[in-house]
Amino acid sequence: MITVKDLHKSFSKVEILKGISAEIQKGEVVVVIGPSGSGKSTFLRCLNLLEQPTSGEIMFEGEQITAKNHNINATREKMGMVFQQFNLFPHKSVLENITLAPMKVRGQSRSDAEKVADELLKTVGLQDKRNAYPSQLSGGQKQRIAIARALAMQPHVMLFDEPTSALDPEMVGEVLEVMKKLAENGMTMVIVTHEMGFAREVGDRILFMDGGRIVEEGAPDQIFSNPSHPRTREFLSKVL
Ligand code: ADP
Ligand code: MG
C-alpha cells in the first residue's frame, strides 16, 4: 500500500531523516519504535505529507504522492491520523466533531454522516457521549473520539503518533483496545508507540528507528526476544 524509497528530510539544513526505505502492505500493522528525537514523528508526518520530504519517493496505492503535481488533499483524506494531543474542536459536540469533515470535505449528507458517526461511536464504545463536549470527556474518551473522527473519513490507512503518551495510565488500555479492534478488522496501520507490550501483541512488524534511520526491522518476536543490532538491544534494555 505504501512504499517509501530513500526518504530524506532536513529542517534548516539539519538532516533529520537520513534515507528511510520501507514498505507497508495492505492490512498490515507496522509499529515504529525508537528513542526520542530519532525521527519517528517526522517519518509519520512525511507519509501523509504534513511534512514535505527533502528528497526520496513515497508511493501510496500505486501513486507517487511526492510528485510535484500530486493532489495532496486527496491523499490526506485516505490517511487518517491520530496525534498525542487529541485536537478535538472544543466548541463542537462529539457528534459534530465526527461529522464535520465527512460533510464538508466529502460532501456527505448530515443524515448519512450521523449514521456513520453512530456506528463509529459504537465501535469506540462511546454512544452515550454523542452530544457531549470535549471538555466533558476524560483523556481516554477524547482520544477514542479522535480515532472515531479519523475513521469517519473512511481512510485506507491509519497513522498513530504516540496516541497514548498524553494519557493517565489508567486510560491507556481503553485506547489500545480500540486500536487492537481496528487491527483485527484488517485496518492498515502505522503506529508510533512506547507501549512495547502492545507493539509485540498487535504489531505484524516492528521498525526500530535511531538517528534518522531504520536500524532494524522484523517480526515482533524477533525484535523483542532476539534483536540483532546493538542499538536495538540498548534501547529495549531501557524500556522493557
Ligand atoms: P521523535 O518523534 O522520534 O521523537 P521527531 O521526528 O519529533 O522525533 O524529531 C526528530 C528531530 O527533528 C528532533 O531533533 C527535532 O527537534 C527535529 N524536528 C522535528 N520537527 C522539526 C521542525 N518542524 N523544525 C525543526 N526541527 C524539527
Ligand atoms: Mg514523536
**Is the pTM value of this prediction over 0.80?**
yes
- At 24 the pLDDT is 98
Which pLDDT band, with edges at 50, 70 and 90, does 66 fall under?
A: very high
User: Which ligand 1 atom sits nearest the alpha carbon of residue 36?
Assistant: 4
- At 79 the pLDDT is 97
Q: Which of 205, 152, 164, 165 is nearest to 183 (CA)?
A: 205
204 or 86: which carries more pLDDT confidence?
Answer: 204
Collect contacts of 172-180 with beta carbons under 8 A, ≥24 apart. 172/140, 174/125, 174/140, 174/144, 175/140, 175/143, 175/144, 175/147, 176/202, 178/123, 178/124, 178/125, 178/144, 178/147, 179/147
* Closest-approaching ligand to the CA atom of 43: 1
Asked if pLDDT for residue 191 goes beyond 90, the answer is yes
Q: Which domain holds residue 192?
A: 2-237
- At 122 the pLDDT is 97
Closest Cα to atom 12, ligand 1: which residue?
A: 16
| For residues 173-191, average pLDDT | 98
| For residues 107-134, average pLDDT | 98
Q: What is the SS3 assignment for the chain?
A: CEEEEEEEEEECCEEEEEEEEEEECCCCEEEEECCCCCCHHHHHHHHCCCCCCCEEEEEECCEECCCCCCCHHHHHHHEEEECCCCCCCCCCCHHHHHHHHHHHCCCCCHHHHHHHHHHHHHHCCCHHHCCCCHHHCCHHHHHHHHHHHHHCCCCCEEEEECCCCCCCHHHHHHHHHHHHHHHHCCCEEEEECCCHHHHHHHCCEEEEEECCEEEEEECHHHHHHCCCCHHHHHHHHHHC
Count of domains for the chain:
1
| For residues 22-30, average pLDDT | 98
C-beta 237 within 6 A of ligand 1: no
27 Rama class: left (phi>0) / alpha (psi -120 to 50) / beta:
left
Residue 103 Cα, ligand 2 centroid: separation in angstroms?
A: 31
Q: Which residue has the cell 459504537?
A: 122
Residue 206 Cα, ligand 2 centroid: separation in angstroms?
A: 16
Asked if pLDDT for residue 158 goes beyond 90, the answer is yes
Under a CB-based contact definition with an 8 Å cutoff, are residues 7 and 58 in contact?
Answer: yes
- At 202 the pLDDT is 98
| For residues 75-102, average pLDDT | 96
Cell of 80: 487518517
- At 94 the pLDDT is 98
**Residue % of the chain over a pLDDT of 70:** 100
Residue 117 Cα, ligand 1 centroid: separation in angstroms?
A: 34
State the CATH number of the domain containing residue 218: 3.40.50.300
C-beta 52 within 6 A of ligand 1: no
First-last CA distance in the chain: 31
- At 90 the pLDDT is 97
Output the CA–CA distances (angstroms, integers) from residue 103 to 91, 106, 115, 117, 205, in the order listed: 18, 6, 12, 11, 35
User: Which ligand 1 atom sits nearest the alpha carbon of residue 161?
Assistant: 2
- At 240 the pLDDT is 86
Asked if pLDDT for residue 31 goes beyond 90, the answer is yes
- At 63 the pLDDT is 95
